Structure 1
Amino acid sequence: MAASMVSSQPEEISAASYVGFDSITRQIEHKLLKRGFQFNVMVVGQTGLGKSTLINTLFASHLIDSKGRVDIDTQPKQTTEIHALSHVIVENGVRLKLNIIDTPGYGDSVNNEGCWDPIVKYIKDQHSAYLRKELTAMRDRFIPDTRIHCCLFFINPTGHTLKPIDIVVLKKLAEVVNVVPVIAKSDSLTLEERAIFKQRVMAELQFNQIRLYPFDADELDEEELTLNERIREMLPFAIVGSERSVIIDGKPVRGRKNRWGVINVEDEKHCEFIYLRNFLTRTHLQDLIETTAQIHYESFRSKQLLALKESSAKNQQASAATASA
Structure 2
Amino acid sequence: MAPGPVGCQLFGYVGIEAVLDQMKIKTMKTGFEFNIMVVVIQEKGVKMKLTVTDTPGFGDQINNDNCWDPIIKYINEQYERYLREEILITRKRKIPDTRVHGCVYFVPPTGHWLRPLDLEFMRRLSKIVNVVPVIAKADTLTLEERAEFKQRIQEDLRTHAISVYPQEDFDQDPEDRALNNRIREKIPFAVVGADQEHQVNGKRVLGRKTKWGIIEVENPAHCEFPLLQDLLIRSHLQDLKDITHNVHYESYRVRRLNESNRPGLGPLNGLPAKGEASSHL
Question: TM-score under structure 2 normalisation?
Answer: 0.85
**Structure 2 residue 28 is matched with structure 1 residue 33:** yes
SS in 2 for 1:256: strand
Match of 1:302 in 2: 254
Match of 1:95 in 2: 47
The CA deviation string for residues 155-185 of structure 1, in whole angstroms up to 9 with x for no partner, is 1011112111111111111111000000011
State the Cα RMSD in Å.
Answer: 2.2
Aligned to 1:270, which of 210, 222, 233?
222
**Structure 2 residue 32 is matched with structure 1 residue 116:** no
Match of 1:279 in 2: 231
Aligned length in residues? 256
SS in 1 for 2:53: strand
Aligned to 1:193, which of 104, 126, 145?
145
Structure 2's unaligned 5+ residue stretches are: 1-8, 265-281
SS in 2 for 1:102: coil
**Structure 2 residue 192 is matched with structure 1 residue 240:** yes
Aligned to 2:173, which of 221, 231, 252?
221
Aligned to 1:139, which of 91, 96, 113?
91
Match of 1:184 in 2: 136
1:220 is displaced (CA, Å) by: 2.3
Check 1:22–1:113 CA distance in 2 against 1; reply closer, same or farther (3 A cut).
Answer: closer
- Opposite residue 135 of structure 2, the aligned amino acid is I
Assess if the C-alpha contact under 8 Å between 2:171 and 2:177 holds in 1. Answer: no
Match of 1:160 in 2: 112
Match of 1:130 in 2: 82
User: Bigger shift: 273-282 or 302-311?
Assistant: 302-311
Q: Distance in 2 between matches of 1:232 and 1:19?
A: 38
The CA deviation string for residues 285-307 of structure 1, in whole angstroms up to 9 with x for no partner, is 00000100001001111111122
1:191 is displaced (CA, Å) by: 0.2
1:25 is displaced (CA, Å) by: 2.9
SS in 2 for 1:210: coil
Check 1:187–1:310 CA distance in 2 against 1; reply closer, same or farther (3 A cut).
Answer: same
- Opposite residue 29 of structure 1, the aligned amino acid is K
Match of 1:57 in 2: none
1:26 is displaced (CA, Å) by: 2.6
Larger radius of gyration: 1
Check 1:236–1:218 CA distance in 2 against 1; reply closer, same or farther (3 A cut).
Answer: closer
Q: Distance in 1 between matches of 2:224 and 2:11?
A: 53
Q: Distance in 2 between matches of 1:300 and 1:262?
A: 46
Structure 1's unaligned 5+ residue stretches are: 1-13, 43-85, 313-325
- Opposite residue 20 of structure 2, the aligned amino acid is T
SS in 2 for 1:229: helix
Match of 1:212 in 2: 164
Q: Distance in 2 between matches of 1:106 and 1:219?
A: 31
SS in 1 for 2:207: strand
Q: Distance in 2 between matches of 1:18 and 1:311?
A: 50
Match of 1:316 in 2: none
Question: TM-score under structure 1 normalisation?
Answer: 0.74
Question: Aligned residues: percent identity?
Answer: 49
**Structure 2 residue 18 is matched with structure 1 residue 23:** yes
